[in-house]
Amino acid sequence: MIAVACLLLWLAIKKGFEPLLLVPIAFGMLLTNMPLGNMMMKPMLAILDHKDSAMPIINELVVQEGLVGAAELHAYTGIKSVGGLFFYLYQGVKLGIFPPLIFMGVGAMTDFGPLIANPKAVLLGAAAQFGIFFTFIGALLLGFTGPEAGAIGIIGGADGPTAIFLASKLAPHLLGAIAVAAYSYMALVPVIQPPIMKALTTKAERQIKMSQLRQVSKTEKIIFPIAVTIIVSLMVPPATALVGMLMLGNLFRECGVTARLEDTAKNALINIVTIFLGVTVGATAQADTFLQWDTIKIIILGVTAFAVGTAAGVLLAKLMNKLSGGTLNPLIGSAGVSAVPMAARVSQVVGQKENPSNFLLMHAMGPNVAGVIGSAVAAGVLLTLFGS
């Protein structure tokens, strides 16, 4: 595991694979696997009876889970030993605190204008989520349980915080492998997507120039996050935390009266939470849970999820292009995965190679930000199905 951590550090630092997340994840993996480091050690509770004879030391979580009743515990004197540093920081992941805070920062950094200007981009963002449910079925066929398959499938959304959020609730024992796969493939979007995009489109389609998007008013940008929060929260309640914090961050950005909050959300806060999220997720990748065949399966399923999501977005964009009379460049469909703004940049780069005068970035940002919302909604659906 120390060797695996060093390999991930090399990929992040030397090759630039999502370094802002992969460096803390890899270093957390390194620390948690140091012999006798006890970075993820759970707090222990020694129970003494009335005669002061020590009972065996038991894990505090055993008490919380009811194996030792509250009344019985009250009758004894407890002596607690402190847990490891990462055990306490990990509660921000386990309790679903860190990923929504990351989403708030993402919302503060994201302009939803291209999506508002072209609402049809929602369909492309939804199509790209097909990779999630395709991979979910594949994971079931490979022997994973329903909750495990749901947590693995969300890798196809190309959204690291969402993958961590869902895995921590449905399959915490797979969290390390899922997080490493999700962020590794997010870094490989410029490698994975172009061959699929070119294989599914013709040269003429890749050369299509799209007309400029309309100007979006300030009022529309303020109403949008409020309306989306209400609609999504009512339709898919488990997605409220992710979508709500994403939209709160965007409201900070657009309302014009919370500049300090916007700055904090998209700079200091998101950076601090990213560090805590990364090291604690990496700390879950201990040898007994990470070095298994299931990890290899997750890595294979993860790349399948990305490929299928990309293909589904491009194919729907091709159909929309036919229905629109040839005015929509199918390349923007690949941006429906929610790797913001990397997937949109890939659409721009591939399109400009075919036609140097083509500028698809803002058009691709519509499906891209729709993909962020779509992955959060998909996570909410899976939580509804398999959450306790």
For 96, list phi and psi in degrees, rounded to 5. 70, 35
Same domain as 129, residue 61: no
The yes-or-no verdict on residue 267 having pLDDT over 60 is yes
Tell me the residue type at 259. Answer: A
Q: Across the chain, what does the average pLDDT equal?
A: 87
Which range of residues forms the domain containing residue 63?
A: 44-82
Residue 21, in any domain of the structure = no
Residue 121, in any domain of the structure = yes
Same domain as 111, residue 70: no
Q: What is the pLDDT of residue 338?
A: 79
Q: What is the pLDDT of residue 66?
A: 46
Give mean pLDDT, residues 314-333.
93
Q: What is the pLDDT of residue 76?
A: 47
Same domain as 261, residue 201: yes
Residue 34, in any domain of the structure = no
Same domain as 186, residue 134: yes
Same domain as 281, residue 174: yes
Residue 264, in any domain of the structure = yes
Same domain as 201, residue 75: no
The yes-or-no verdict on residue 15 having pLDDT over 90 is no
Of the two residues 187 and 219, the one the predictor is more confident about is 219
Q: Taking CA 150 as the corner, what is the angle to CA 336 and CA 148, rounded to the nearest 5 degrees?
A: 145
CA distance 227 to 206: 34
376 burial type by CB count under 10 A (0-12 exposed, 13-18 middle, 19+ buried): buried
Of the two residues 273 and 292, the one the predictor is more confident about is 273
Residue 4, in any domain of the structure = no
26 burial type by CB count under 10 A (0-12 exposed, 13-18 middle, 19+ buried): buried
Same domain as 193, residue 61: no
Q: What is the pLDDT of residue 45?
A: 58
Same domain as 69, residue 217: no
Q: How many structural domains are present in the chain? A: 2
Give kind and range of the element (H or E) at residue 46: strand 44-48
Same domain as 140, residue 59: no
Pairing of strands 77-81, 54-59: unpaired
Residue 27, in any domain of the structure = no
Helix, strand, coil percentages (3-state) for the chain, rounded to 5, are 70, 5, 25
Of the candidate ranges 155-169, 212-226, 235-249, the one whose mean pLDDT is the lowest: 155-169
Residue 217, in any domain of the structure = yes
Strand order in the sheet with 44-48: 54-59, 44-48, 77-81
Same domain as 208, residue 62: no
The yes-or-no verdict on residue 387 having pLDDT over 80 is no
Residues 334, 336, 337, 338: what is their CA dihedral angle, to the nearest 10 degrees? 140
Same domain as 272, residue 217: yes
Query: pLDDT tens digits for 100-123?
Result: 999 999 999 999 999 999 999 999
Same domain as 175, residue 68: no
Determine the 3-state secondary structure of 290 from DSSP.
Answer: helix
The yes-or-no verdict on residue 64 having pLDDT over 60 is no
Residue 28, in any domain of the structure = no
The yes-or-no verdict on residue 320 having pLDDT over 90 is yes
Q: What is the pLDDT of residue 160?
A: 83
How is residue 269 annotated by DSSP? I
Tell which of 61, 82, 103 closes a domain.
82
Q: Predicted confidence band at 334 (pLDDT cuts at 50, 70, 90)?
A: very high
Q: What is the pLDDT of residue 78?
A: 52
Kindly report the pTM of this predicted structure: 0.85
